[in-house]
Chain A
Amino acid sequence: MFDLDRWQEIFQTISKNKLRTLLSGFTIAFAILLFTLLFGIGNGLKHTFEKQFAGDSQNSIYIRSGNTTKPYKGLQSGRQIQFRNDDSKFINEKFEDDIQFFSPNIERFAQASYKGEQNQYTVRGVYPDYLPLESAVIEKGRFLSVLDIKNKVKAIAIGRLVEKDLFGNLSALGKNIVLDGLSYKVVGVFSDPGGDNDERFIYAPFTTLQGIYMPNDELDRFGLTFNPKLSNEEAIAFSNLLTQVLKEKHKVDPRDQSAIRVQNYAEGAKNVQQFMGVLNIIILFIGIGTLIAGVIGISNIMVYIVKERTKELGIRKALGATPNSIIGMIMMESIFITALAGYTGLLIGVFALKGLGDSLEKYFILNPSVETYVVVGATIVLIVAGTIAGYIPAKRAASIKPIVALNDE
């Protein structure tokens, strides 16, 4: 296999028969190129959809309150429903197993300033659990801690863009920002895949904000994520039950749609997941289709090549080539060309995708790319196919009597 002389013989055959080599190489390179491009564009579509729903955790549920629209149990309609701390406790205790992260939430629009720079931001009072709920990631420092909550510390975590707005290129970590006249220390900076809006939030300890902005123990809303082990149906059932129980607790008509509103991403996620599933199947189908086309192409070419070379093989046999050396020669050629051409197609495809980049974003194609293992796998499939495709005609050619091969014109 690693006989230098044998390789020299093969290189000569390849280089002296350029058209043949080019034809077979082109087919394979083209198949891999198409495979890479189609797969990459398919992945680009997938990325777009992922991004659309990347703002919040896929399993998040938000609960808001409003005014009743129906009279119920002797109570008039138009009554305002107000969540309080005991609701937090109630929900957490009742659904301990179903909840992954949970945070009550106070939201205010506040004037923020730092050394003359100032701007309006949404300030949220939250618990440490809120970070995963938003799918946010800490870039610098830390997020709010349990101690911050307990001690009602004036500490804040700010979005990446808040830092940029107020501090320019300087680090905000450890600096004090004034919010509505009160000074807060920046303990962390976070980024959020949800986009610019989500990166202009400021998070403060829930208890701190409750003490400042809310009378007593009132709060605005709840955010939670359900246990990811729940199936989609179970998650929807869970949120329905949650709604029902809360309505009961606050004496709201079960049919009242506005007094207590539960927004469950699971319902939207269900459609998205179905769509993504279909998209995945389409991509897979395209990929397999391209590969099959490539395999058929190689097989055809190998049959043609061996047919064309019948006489040459006959001469070689007359001069003392054994059947095995004939098979070996054809297969090594086949594997060499397939591997080289496959790799070329792969490189062109990957670079083309890189070149495309995000330029097709308006066609819903974002960062089209392929996983390395997918293309390498595809190339290996083609090489194996090329080998098999080469083996069958090579075996046949090797078993033709030399005299028949010599008479082949």
Chain B
Amino acid sequence: MIKIEKLHKSYPIGKGSLHVLKGLDLHIKEGEFVSIMGSSGSGKSTLLNIVGLLDNHDTGNYYLNGQLIENLDEKKAAILRNKFLGFVFQSFNLINYKSALENVALPLYYQGIGRKERNKIALQYLDKVGIKDRAEHLPSELSGGEKQRVAIARALVTNPKVVLADEPTGALDSATTHSVMELLKEINREGMTVFVITHEEDVAAETDRIVRLKDGIIISDEKVQKKSNRISYV
């Protein structure tokens, strides 16, 4: 689903430049639940931005859904984002004057789907994340966990190939964190590729595969040893 080869990215800082990603190779298959771990400055957000087509890379190859990403102009990138990618941000990034339902329906607006139809679909997804009853509320009237659920519903509403989550629990308390991670797991169980960025070990441990990043280089990439899901027989 996502294939990255020798990816480099640097940002100009003053006269020099900051080399953030130093030749990453990463392959994420369809249906995987992957987390990228790293301290701040490790390049994990940059990686997500490039994968999410929010930023472009300098050198190397990036294939999204088998398609080589190169020479993207803003318009093409916008269409690809809308079609293949769903975003969940740390700060939720909901539009504050739109209700939960309208926020969820917005990506469908950019697909040119009619108002009635997109509200219907959006309501289904709000139901899926368990806050159908909050549909008409503004983000300011929702709790942090509810806001993130709205954001997740919005990420899912276009039925994308990959959900990209940037510190999805960074602004939440531990109980809410757990329920949001459960929701992401559930989505993953239904076959969605989920790509989470975090610096919390607990959060990463909930995923199936942890990729550790340090100073722009992948230092480890391993499957999580799951605790047995079997009920212990007495």
Contact = CB atoms under 8 A, between A and B. Distances in A.
Interface of A: 5, 8-9, 12-13, 16-17, 311-312, 314-325, 398-399, 401-403, 406
Nearest to A319: B107
Given A316-B106, A318-B93, A319-B82, A403 B49 contact: yes
Contacts of A312: 95
Interface stretch (B30-38, B110-118, B179-187): B110-118
Q: How large is the interface on B (under 10, 10 to 19, 20 to 34, 35 or more residues)?
A: 20 to 34
Contact of A319 (B74, B106, B115): B106
A403 B109 contact: no
Contacts of B110: 316, 319-322, 325
Nearest 10 interchain pairs by C-beta: A320-B82, A16-B97, A320-B110, A403-B54, A322-B78, A319-B107, A322-B75, A323-B74, A402-B54, A315-B93
B128 to A, nearest CB: 18
Contact of A406 (B54, B75, B102): B54
B55 A318 contact: no
B171 to A, nearest CB: 14
Nearest to A406: B93
A320 B49 CA distance: 14
B79 A320 contact: yes
A402 to B, nearest CB: 5
A9 B75 contact: no
Given A5-B115, A319-B87, A17 B74 contact: no
Given A8-B115, A9-B109, A406-B89, A323 B75 contact: yes
B57 interface: no
Contacts, number: 68
Nearest to B114: A5
Q: Is the interface of A mostly helix, strand, loop or mixed?
A: helix
B81 interface: yes
Contacts of B54: 318, 401-403, 406
A319 B103 CA distance: 10
Nearest to B56: A401
Contacts of B158: 320
B154 interface: yes
Among A311, A314, A320, A324, chain B packs the most CB atoms within 10 A around the CB of: A320
B79 A5 contact: no
B107 A320 contact: yes
B158 to A, nearest CB: 8
Nearest to B75: A322
Most chain A beta carbons < 10 A, residue from B49, B89, B93: B93
Given A323-B74, A403-B49, A315 B95 contact: yes
Contacts of B114: 5
Contacts of A318: 52, 54, 81, 87, 93
B231 to A, nearest CB: 42
A17 B52 CA distance: 30
A17 B111 contact: no
Contacts of B52: 318
A403 B164 CA distance: 14
B55 A403 contact: yes
Given A320-B110, A401-B55, 16 more contacts: A16-B98, A311-B93, A314-B93, A315-B93, A316-B106, A317-B78, A318-B54, A318-B87, A319-B82, A319-B154, A320-B81, A320-B107, A403-B55, A406-B54, A406-B89, A406-B93
Interface in B77-91: 78-79, 81-83, 87, 89
B115 A321 contact: no
26 contacts: A5-B109, A8-B115, A12-B102, A16-B97, A17-B97, A311-B93, A312-B95, A315-B95, A316-B106, A316-B110, A317-B81, A318-B81, A318-B87, A318-B93, A320-B82, A320-B107, A320-B110, A321-B78, A321-B110, A322-B74, A322-B110, A323-B74, A323-B75, A325-B110, A406-B54, A406-B93
